[in-house]
Amino acid sequence: MLSDLSRQLRQRLVLPLPGAEAHYKMANVERRVNSSRYKIPDDARKGAVLILFYENEGKICFPLIVRPEYDGVHSGQIALPGGGFEVDDDTLQNTALREAQEEIGIFKNDVTIIGSLSALYIPPSNFLVHPFIGILTYKPHFVPDETEVAGIIETDLESVMDERLVSEKIIKLSNGMEINTPFFNIQSQTVWGATAMILSEMKSLLYEIGY
């Protein structure tokens, strides 16, 4: 199952990606209307996240993390494991692998990267995030970092593909503003913003290959 998906996705990922078209399906109204606000500035910081596929009980799964509550723009949000580029990483792919190892305790050398999705700019934190897709041939034993991860949500691709789990709601931002935004309802958790937009592009590709 996973080997077939890996092969098909690897072939698809070398072709042009849907990018913004797929991102905007899960973007809030303000971002869709004022796209010029989201042009990438010269001082944007580079970062990377990892979508890590593995099999568990006959399903293809991947982990999401719950950010801890803190005084910052992404406090308490659901995210993909990842973080900022460091000079010693050499490549953004290595950033994604290193951060995943640090945050959720996987062994980065066991992960096979099959490709990457479109980069996505996140204005509140001024990060240009590069998503990578990796494959593990076994179910990992997760060890969340105590300072960076408040919890791990193991979800499956069926949940992301299920249109009944996509809705809209009003969300209050850290600056007090409220926005109406699409979200994935995954295990009663609200997955929105950049993470939802990245998953939307992944979802579009899975539709294309007939998943």
pLDDT tens digits along 68-121: 876 655 567 899 999 999 999 999 999 999 999 999 999 999 999 999 999 999
Nearest to 186 by CA among 210, 164, 208: 164
Cα torsion 78, 146, 128, 173: sign: positive
Domain 2-156+193-208 carries which CATH code? 3.90.79.10
Instruction: Quote the CA–CA distance of 57 and 46 in Å, as a whole number.
Output: 36
Q: What pLDDT does residue 74 have?
A: 56
Beta strands in 117-165 (DSSP E): 120-122, 127-135, 151-156
Strand-pair category, 127-135 with 45-56: parallel
CB of 50 closer than 8 Å to CB of 162? no
- Pick from 25, 106, 27, 31: which is nearest to 65 by CA? 106
pLDDT at 61: 98
User: Does an H or E element contain 95, and which?
Assistant: helix 92-104
User: Which stretches of the chain score pLDDT less than 70?
Assistant: 36, 70-75, 174
In whole angstroms, how large is the CA radius of gyration of the chain? 16
